Amino acid sequence: MFHEIVAQLDNMVSALQTLLYVDVVQPFFYRFGLMGYDEDTYDALYWVIIGALEIVVTYLALRPLEALRPIEQWQDRKALRADVIYTWIAKLGIINIAFFFMLQPLFDHWQSLISIYNVPNIDIDSLWPGVTDQPIVSFLIYLVILDFAGYWYHRWQHRFGVWWELHAVHHSQQQMSLWNDDRNHFLDDIIQAAFFAAISLFIGVQPNQFVVLVAVSNFMQSIQHVNARLPYGWLLERLIVSPIFHRRHHAVGYGHEGTKYGCNFGVLFPWWDMLFRTASWNRTVEPTGIRDQLPAPHGDGRSYGQGLLAQQWLALARIVARLTGRRAYAPGTTDAAN
């Protein structure tokens, strides 16, 4: 059943991909002499379509919940504009798939060396013939393995100071919403794409499975950031990360404090937080953001930037300041790039 559903969706997207390419892209490329890029562009269209459909489905499914059952009333909807732009950039999947296919030749060569020298290789599909080679089983195994890696990747983002300054772009949003998930520094996105693409290739994830893994993970993470009260219940909340569980991670003074504290790092599943004792089940709704964003005397009134370009630039400025021992800018100031 799972394989048939994926196949039907793949056929639908492929048909739309061909239609757009023949009727829109190809005439444009022919007109401006860009036909040398047609094959790569055709392949990229698949990811663009998947990303656009994912954004539409996510908005239609989650925006009504935010309107009907909000956790908090937003004070400034303009603060979400940059997050919408981040979402469109990230959901198109260009960074992820670029690294996946850039690393593919390297891993093909590496796997050929493994075969020549009889070095053991990780091939999930062949671990239990008749079981792990079933699409739904292998998909779930890949999902769990990648989520375990994601848990540690997330903890490292909070543990190392320079890395935290990149990740702070994500945490600096003080109004949680379905758009927040993709609010990240682009350098961090590149590092993350390379990290997960390498692991995916190492454990034998096929390109079509990689598409579904990315789409499912993205949708689940959008749910985690939604500004809506969802009745997960005791059991479901311990099976998958809920909005209230993840909101605790974003809470000022609870979920993180730079490199000093942290809880609820799980990406899709809370199991790793439970296993490594970083889970907090406190359901109290706390303000979200970073402590030094707060006005004095509780914080420094620091600006992390309102616009996308400002947020990207200020993260690099904070890294330079951290490395040189100077402040990137004075407390309470805002930048001209907002």
Per 3-state DSSP, what percentage of the chain is helix, strand, and coil (rounded to 5)?
A: 65, 0, 35
Q: Which tokens sit at 141? A: 């195994």
Residue 100 lies in a domain: yes
Question: How many domains in the chain?
Answer: 1
Per-residue pLDDT reduced to its tens digit, 56-110: 999 999 999 999 999 988 777 788 899 999 999 888 766 666 666 666 676 667 6
Residue 302 lies in a domain: no
Q: Does residue 333 form part of some domain? A: no
Cβ neighbour number for residue 271 with a 10 Å cutoff: 18
Reported as a single tens digit per residue, the pLDDT across 207-233 is: 777 878 888 899 999 999 999 999 899
- Contact in structure between 83 and 173 (CB atoms under 8 Å): yes
Q: pLDDT tens digits for the chain (338 residues)?
A: 656 766 777 788 888 888 887 888 778 777 766 666 566 677 778 878 888 999 999 999 999 999 999 998 877 778 889 999 999 988 876 666 666 666 667 666 766 766 676 655 567 666 666 666 677 888 888 999 999 999 999 999 998 889 999 999 999 999 999 999 999 999 999 888 888 888 887 787 877 778 788 888 999 999 999 999 998 999 999 999 999 999 999 998 776 664 456 899 999 999 999 999 899 898 888 889 998 888 878 778 889 998 999 999 999 999 999 898 765 543 333 333 33
Q: What does the alpha-carbon distance between residue 313 and residue 114 come to, in Å, rounded to a whole number?
A: 43
How far are the Cα atoms of 133, 197, 217 from residue 140, in angstroms, in the given order?
Answer: 11, 17, 12
310 in any annotated domain: no
Name every residue whose Cβ is closer than 8 Å to that of residue 101 and which is 6 or more positions away in sequence. Answer: 207
Whether 289 and 171 have beta carbons less than 8 Å apart is answered as yes
Residue-wise over 305-333: b if at least 16 C-beta within 10 A, else e? bbebebbbebbebbbeeeeeeeebeeeee
Cβ pair 142, 125 in contact under 8 A: no
Domain range enclosing 58: 2-227
Q: Residue 158 corresponds to which tokens in the numbers above?
A: 């909070």
Residues 210, 216: Cα–Cα separation, whole Å: 10
In a domain, 83, yes or no: yes
198 falls within a domain: yes
In degrees, rounded to 5, the angle at the alpha carbon of residue 268 between the alpha carbons of residues 265 and 269 is 80
Domain annotation covers residue 266: no
Phi first, then psi: what are they for 299, rounded to 5°? -155, -165
**132 torsion bin: left (phi>0), alpha (psi -120 to 50), beta (else):** alpha
Report whether 265 contacts 278 (CB < 8 A): yes
**Within-domain flag for 6:** yes
